Amino acid sequence: MRYIFLFLILILIANNISYADTTYISRPQWKHFCPDGWQDAEYKEIKWYWPYSVKQTQEELNYWATKKSEFEEQIKNCDMLLDEFKPQCYWDVKTRFRSDFEDHKLEVETKKIFNKGIDDNIYRNPRPFMINIIPTK
């Protein structure tokens, strides 16, 4: 009898915990997901004549501007739901964007490592070989 009572209490506690996970979730704010300095990013077309570092920075700005518009669209969709479904929708948005941003962070770090390897090779061999494209007779 004692074990049944403990079992019922554990079930009730577990049920309340799982219910509490989505009940008190507040509306997500973009500033909590985006790194400092990228909150007000604007999308711009990248021009072919821009220096490489400017292109990289604009690619990053474009990424955050696109994600911000996706985030705001998702939040608008959540806001249109009934109050009982909003917390779960907010939770889904939070988890999706956290996952996306972790993937993006990993991708950026991988690019940095790859580009550093290319830069190191260029500095180690300052005289790149030339391919003779003009045929000689």
pLDDT above 80: residue 79: yes
What is the rounded distance in angstroms from the CA atom of residue 9 to the CA atom of residue 73? 41
Residue 9 covered by a domain: no
User: 49 and 113 in contact (C-beta within 8 Å)?
Assistant: no
Cα torsion through 105, 106, 112, 116, rounded to 10: 160
| 78, part of any domain | yes
Confirm whether 111 is domain-assigned: yes
Is residue 44 in some structural domain?
Answer: yes
pLDDT at 10: 58
Q: Tokens 């997500």 belong to which residue?
A: 28
Range of the domain at 68: 26-124
In a domain, 83, yes or no: yes
Which tokens sit at 6?
A: 């403990």
Residue 99 lies in a domain: yes
Number of domains in the chain: 1
Which amino acid is it at 37? G
- Look at residue 132 and tell me whether its pLDDT is greater than 90: no
pLDDT for 80-124, tens place per residue? 989 888 999 999 999 999 998 999 888 888 887 877 665 555 455
Mean pLDDT taken over the chain: 77
Structure tokens given for 44: 């711009």
- For the stretch 46-65, pLDDT in tens is 888 888 888 888 898 999 99
Q: For the residues of 38-84, what is the DSSP string, one character each?
A: -TT----PPPTTS-HHHHHHHHHHHHHHHHHHHHHHHHHHHHTS-TT
> What pLDDT, on the 0 to 100 scale, is given for residue 110?
86
Whether 115 is covered by a domain: the verdict is yes
In a domain, 137, yes or no: no
Using DSSP's 3-state secondary structure scheme, residue 8 falls into helix
Would the pTM of this model clear 0.85, i.e. be above it? no
